Amino acid sequence: MLLSRSRATAAPAATFARNGRMKPNIAADPEERMQRLVAERNRKMATSAHAYVRGSTTRFYEWLDASSRPALPEGPQTWICGDCHVGNLGPVASADGAIAIQVRDLDQTVIGNPAHDLIRLGLSLAMAARGSDLPGVTTAHILERMMDGYEAAFMPQTAAGTSDASSDMPKIARLAMRQAARRSWKHLADERIEGVEPIIPLGKRFWPLAADERTAVNKLFAEGALRRLVTSLRSRDDGAPVRVMDAAYWRKGCSSLGRLRIAVLVAIDSGKTERHCLMDVKEAIAAAAPHSHATEMPADNAERVVTGARNLSPFLGGRMLPARLLGKSVFIRELLPQVM
């Protein structure tokens, strides 16, 4: 049975757990969001050195600028991630069902110096090793392998269009690819919305939308471009009807806490052929990563993010769209089960 409810202005006093029992609701009303989000960001960043580095992109570039280090090597001005830490790499699926290891978060993407991505990734790996109490020699080996992998990308291309090192994928990467390929909508729904029922449960992770936010979401997904994005996967009928079933503010991430972020549960088609998908609507803000002033980038932040994604992670960028929501620049993508 489909469940429905109105949550336009405030959270109910309680929600149902998976077993049907009532549980206290810890969702925040729209007026309380910022205070709660700032406290949560500070708490998450204080848990470890790795978490702090991951959540402090702006500070990272301030450290680089203020340090007495030698000058960075100047690479070609090209699209970079801008926030290339280890958590932003992993399996990504294309609209056609192919899977690859690519960058998965491109909020900070700019046209800039690729050395910034290497330093950011190296720092992230070193902090992860430190947080695991690994010896310094292990950290050195990790960074050496990172540099080996970067150099391998410049190896001559084979006739098949891939580098000679493409078959030498590490075991951990092959395992991640296999696990991603086996995942289904049920896995995604269990992790993200605690079950396959067509609702987004309010609580610690999801908070209620204000009335104008819910109205804006419904209007946004009624547009033709969004409908085509939702039906873009090869398993879906391009002409299938699309409707918003539920939506909620999403308390997710660390450095992005405080921005507008909305999870939207969408139904595709109806009756026995009805399918569901989870869309991520995220506010795009100015990048902290230094960018080239000699090369033009899109002025709109969401267009910049989507353009960078299409250049750096085509599997992801091909499933993203820039848009406007309540006067804010946002980018939209579907969350697929292959992302773990």
Contacts with 44 (C-beta within 8 Å, 6 or more apart), sequence order:
51, 55, 254, 257
Encoded tokens for 258: 């405080």
Which tens digits make up the pLDDT trace of 234-279? 778 888 889 999 999 998 765 555 689 999 999 998 888 888 889 9
Question: Which residue stretches of the chain are H helix?
Answer: 33-45, 49-54, 57-66, 115-131, 136-152, 171-182, 185-193, 211-220, 224-230, 301-312, 314-317
Q: Per-residue pLDDT for 13 more than 80?
A: no
pLDDT: is 191 or 281 the higher one?
A: 281
Percent with pLDDT over 70 in the chain: 80
In a domain, 5, yes or no: no
- The pLDDT score that the predictor gives to residue 18 is 42
207-222 burial by CB neighbour count: b if 16+ within 10 A, else e? bbbbeebbebbeebbe
In a domain, 15, yes or no: no
Q: Which of 177, 188, 175, 180 is nearest to 335 (CA)?
A: 188
- Region for 195 from its dihedrals, namely left if φ exceeds 0, alpha if ψ lies in -120 to 50, beta otherwise: left
In a domain, 12, yes or no: no
In a domain, 182, yes or no: yes
Instruction: Among 86-90, 194-198, 255-259, 312-316, name the most confident range.
Output: 312-316
- The pLDDT score that the predictor gives to residue 118 is 94
CB 319 within 8 A of CB 229: yes
- The pLDDT score that the predictor gives to residue 77 is 92
What is the domain count for the chain? 1
Dihedral angle, C-alpha 110, 116, 119, 123, nearest 10 °: -40
Q: Per-residue pLDDT for 32 more than 90?
A: no
Average pLDDT over residues 55-79: 84
Full domain range(s) for residue 232: 24-335
- The pLDDT score that the predictor gives to residue 48 is 67
Q: Per-residue pLDDT for 192 more than 70?
A: yes
- The pLDDT score that the predictor gives to residue 163 is 41
pLDDT: is 111 or 20 the higher one?
A: 111
Question: If you search the block for the tokens 């919305």, which residue do you land on?
Answer: 193
Question: If you search the block for the tokens 């091909």, which residue do you land on?
Answer: 318
Q: Which of 127, 142, 130 is nearest to 55 (CA)?
A: 127
- Region for 58 from its dihedrals, namely left if φ exceeds 0, alpha if ψ lies in -120 to 50, beta otherwise: alpha
In a domain, 126, yes or no: yes
In a domain, 81, yes or no: yes
Average pLDDT, the chain: 81
Which tens digits make up the pLDDT trace of 134-155? 888 999 999 999 998 888 878 7
CB 335 within 8 A of CB 225: no
- The pLDDT score that the predictor gives to residue 7 is 44
How many residues are present in the chain? 340
- The pLDDT score that the predictor gives to residue 208 is 92
Reduced to 3 states (helix: H, G, I; strand: E, B; else coil), residue 244 is strand
- Pick the range with the lowest mean pLDDT from 187-196, 202-211, 234-243, 315-324: 187-196
Q: Per-residue pLDDT for 162 more than 50?
A: no
Which tens digits make up the pLDDT trace of 74-97? 888 999 999 998 888 989 998 888
In a domain, 11, yes or no: no
Report the sign of the C-alpha dihedral through residues 282, 287, 292, 298, in that order.
positive
In a domain, 16, yes or no: no
Q: Per-residue pLDDT for 340 more than 80?
A: no
Q: Per-residue pLDDT for 20 more than 70?
A: no
Q: Which pTM was predicted? A: 0.80
The rounded distance, in Å, linking the Cα atoms of 162 and 299 is: 33
- Pick the range with the lowest mean pLDDT from 161-175, 207-221, 259-273: 161-175
